Structure 1
Amino acid sequence: KAAKSGHKTGNKTGPGIDAVFVAIGGGGLISGVANYIKAVAPGVKVIGVQMNDSDAMIQSVGAKERVTLPDVGLFSDGTAVKLVGEETFRIASNLVDDYVTVDTDAVCAAIKDIFVDTRSIVEPAGALAVAAIKQYVATHKTKGETYAAILCGANMNFDRLRFVAERAEVGEEREALFAVTIPEERGSFKRFCELIGELPGGTRNVTEFNYRISDAAKAHVFVGLSTQGKGESAKVAKNFEKNGFQTLDLTHDELAKEHIRHMVGGISSLAQDERLLRFVFPERPGALMKFLSLMRPGWNISLFHYRNQGADYGRILVGLQVPPEDAAAFDAFLATLGYPYVEETLNPAYRLFLRSK
């Protein structure tokens, strides 16, 4: 895979390629590549790439002797090596021009880039070189150079692909994550949703929304929003703060990205007269606002969970506090709304994990 960096400037060296990026585990692949390239085109740079938690070769070259890592990260299992080979260390020390380390989010973003560009799905180790090219260009501000990336593995499975797809958005900062505190009062949820639609910088999709009633005075919601690129989350957080919503930017928080987003909720003693429903909303602007506008003012949202799945329809779980005497009016509301739904109020999983006794 070859990639251009910026506009054309200067002259090429070798066969039209300025540098080749190669993933390193034990060092066998880069040793062979470096020996060949330096023999036929010595002007072409050979740049090694390792995960930031499995960088045995980089540490060894820096120490001028082989270093054994006490532990290695397993996300890129194809390059998870604690001790590089003796001969590969010697060759890399003499022939490799530079090294780059990348992290999990960068690799996930690179896997997505490769799929979009070539419709090929590579494993994490196979995407290291592409992740490094993106990072190298951003760091060195290179222009007019041509780079080659060796895609060295395709041992991918669907379980890992699910994780990659989610982290790719965060790695590219195409998704910003926030913890927002809103007043626990009628209308505040709707007011916050209206604010999202009015944020400067163009239309943003809500990628995730998790909320569970837990406090009589204030509510904490976990929100994901689509962005146009890096650095935008801070501006969005500032805008929320300016409009009276205390906000914590979680875009770079590992705990939030890996765990908290899946754990928002739980049993609440405040969720009295709660009815739980699964809805299918059309993925179009205004679908949520239609839902909120048709609700009676006296009905309170006590739970809300939504995660964008990239389809034409979004699946939403909603808890609504509806007094028993409003049952007929609530049924009329569901009929007027026109969204497919399943009531889950009697679901045993709901009664076990979300319903107060």
Structure 2
Amino acid sequence: MEAPTQITLDFNAAYERLKRIVKRTPLEFNSGLSEKYGCEVYLKREDLQIVRSYKLRGAYNMISQLNQDQLNRGVVCASAGNHAQGVAFSCSNLGTLGVIFMPEITPNQKVKQTEMFGAGKVKIVLVGDTFDDCLAEALAYTKANNMTFIPPFDNYSVIEGQGTVGVEILQDLPGVEAVIMPVGGGGLAAGTGSYLKDEKPGVLLIGVEPEGAPSMFKALEAHEPVTLPQINRFVDGAAVKRVGTLTYKLCQEVLNQMLLVPEGKVCTTILKLYNEDAIVVEPAGALAVASLDLVKDQIKGKKVVCIISGGNNDIERMQEIKERSLLYEGLKHYFIIRFPQRPGALKLFVNNVLGPHDDITRFEFIKKTNRESGPALIGIELKSADDYGALMDRMQEFRFEVKELNRDQTLFEYLV
């Protein structure tokens, strides 16, 4: 396969091809983030795209260039959701059949949206636990049925399409000095990064991945794509075990830095964007903003763009998002507590151990027949993370045997 430097990526042609189909998303100045970080922060709102993510750009750019025979035979894709919606919209718009493979754990909201954008032109197949699982099934189906596979990221036409995000950024903010981009398979960073580096060589380009799925981070570290043995699938739009060969090569050339952000920090950012700016983002869409704390010294005084890559967040996930945020911020703790074998131990715990602002969010005796003397699983939410030390001191003072589940991942996953 040819190296990226031997290929001419024509982002301006892709922009012309797409401009009557995709929505030109706004580049919004964010005063709160700008004040916090001492710079000018702009949000590229791809969550406001027609399919609520940038993925439409790459999908349409590739499918629209297929010949009529290829369109007649139909297309296939594998996707965690956003690429699927882009392919579905493209199939409906171009009048071709699409077969879309999605992991079984894909949020129901994304499945329904894909069906809606396909408008009767797509068939959805749910298979496997990860993107990589359903990819194998999709490729086998493509070959068996002589159709065209539309990759989610590792294809030059797809990369060109995603790069039109960069075209719009530079048109709207010629003085941009830094762009922070979420990275999953690498298509957005490869395309947008390549365009911006060509047009503005001095721009600082930063990629961001979830801590539990560091596929590009590990690839850059190893100087080649690597397959991760396992990943945390929570940030589903950026959770892949292996980045693309093409996207890796391009990202290696253009990215100045790769960052990893904890999933809990992503959740906190989702809630802040919603509560403070009325912006609904999916986990992958929050990555760029979530990383600002990590680069605050580098971006001070600069014009900075954070790409909000998508807004397909299932409302049913919000309770989990809140829980993960509280755990990350040190505001929620789970314990196994063995009550002293004396009368009134439970009353003592409530009245003397809990602080005035501590709230019990979960309580269940593990041994149902040994109440007030057996162990209990207790969840406690604090008003401030600083209250934790005093809580633990009071447990020791009143002789409660305590095991902190937040510090024991195996027990936490089993009991909580």
Q: TM-score range by the shorter chain?
A: 0.5 to 0.7
Cα 1:117–1:44 change in 2 (3 A) is: farther
Cα 1:16–1:185 change in 2 (3 A) is: farther
Task: Quote the offset at 1:190 in angstroms.
Answer: 0.9
Cα 1:150–1:141 change in 2 (3 A) is: closer
Cα 1:175–1:73 change in 2 (3 A) is: closer
C-alpha distance in 2, partners of 1:5/1:215?
55
Is the 8 Å Cα contact of residues 210 and 223 (structure 1) preserved in structure 2? yes
Three-state SS of the structure 2 residue aligned to 1:251 is helix
C-alpha distance in 2, partners of 1:118/1:7?
16
Task: Quote the offset at 1:48 in angstroms.
Answer: 0.9
**1:164 pairs with 2:164:** no
Cα 1:216–1:75 change in 2 (3 A) is: closer
Residue matched to 2:278: 119
C-alpha distance in 2, partners of 1:179/1:215?
14
Q: 2:225 aligns with which of 60, 66, 81?
A: 66
The correspondence of residues 71-220 of structure 1 with structure 2, limited to 5 A, is 71-137=230-296, 147-197=304-354, 199=355, 203-211=357-365, 213-215=368-370, 218-220=373-375
Which consecutive residues of structure 2, in runs of 5 or more, have no partner in the other structure?
1-27, 40-172
C-alpha distance in 2, partners of 1:20/1:257?
37
Q: 1:245 aligns with which of 381, 400, 411?
A: 400
C-alpha distance in 1, partners of 2:352/2:298?
37
Residue matched to 1:283: none
Root mean square deviation, CA, Å: 3.2
Is the 8 Å Cα contact of residues 212 and 263 (structure 2) preserved in structure 1? no
Task: Quote the offset at 1:259 in angstroms.
Answer: 3.8
Normalising to structure 2: TM-score of the pair?
Answer: 0.53
Three-state SS of the structure 1 residue aligned to 2:196 is helix
Q: 1:226 aligns with which of 374, 377, 381?
A: 381
Which consecutive residues of structure 1, in runs of 5 or more, have no partner in the other structure?
262-357
> C-alpha deviations, 1:279-316, integer Å up to 9, x for none?
xxxxxxxxxxxxxxxxxxxxxxxxxxxxxxxxxxxxxx
Is the 8 Å Cα contact of residues 353 and 398 (structure 2) preserved in structure 1? no
C-alpha distance in 2, partners of 1:235/1:143?
37
Task: Quote the offset at 1:241 in angstroms.
Answer: 0.8
Task: Quote the offset at 1:68 in angstroms.
Answer: 2.8
Three-state SS of the structure 1 residue aligned to 2:323 is helix
C-alpha distance in 2, partners of 1:16/1:252?
46
Task: Quote the offset at 1:232 in angstroms.
Answer: 4.6
Three-state SS of the structure 1 residue aligned to 2:233 is coil
Q: What letter is aligned with 2:260?
A: T
C-alpha distance in 2, partners of 1:246/1:49?
41
Q: What letter is aligned with 2:309?
A: C
Task: Quote the offset at 1:34 in angstroms.
Answer: 1.7
Is the 8 Å Cα contact of residues 180 and 305 (structure 2) preserved in structure 1? yes
Is the 8 Å Cα contact of residues 205 and 254 (structure 2) preserved in structure 1? yes
Q: Which of these two proteins has the greater Rg computed from alpha carbons?
A: 1
Residue matched to 1:236: 391
Is the 8 Å Cα contact of residues 237 and 249 (structure 1) preserved in structure 2? no
Q: What letter is aligned with 1:121?
A: V
Is the 8 Å Cα contact of residues 365 and 371 (structure 2) preserved in structure 1? no
Give the % identical residues.
27
Task: Quote the offset at 1:183 in angstroms.
Answer: 1.9
Residue matched to 1:290: none
Larger proportion of strand: 1
Task: Quote the offset at 1:152 in angstroms.
Answer: 1.0
Task: Quote the offset at 1:149 in angstroms.
Answer: 2.5
Is the 8 Å Cα contact of residues 21 and 46 (structure 1) preserved in structure 2? yes
Q: What letter is aligned with 1:110?
A: T
> C-alpha deviations, 1:131-171, integer Å up to 9, x for none?
2224455xx69866675422212222234333222222112
C-alpha distance in 1, partners of 2:274/2:320?
15
Larger proportion of helix: 2
Q: What letter is aligned with 1:211?
A: F
C-alpha distance in 2, partners of 1:56/1:145?
29
Residue matched to 2:23: none
Normalising to structure 1: TM-score of the pair?
Answer: 0.60
Task: Quote the offset at 1:31 in angstroms.
Answer: 1.7
C-alpha distance in 1, partners of 2:261/2:377?
28
Task: Quote the offset at 1:221 in angstroms.
Answer: 2.4
Residue matched to 2:196: 37
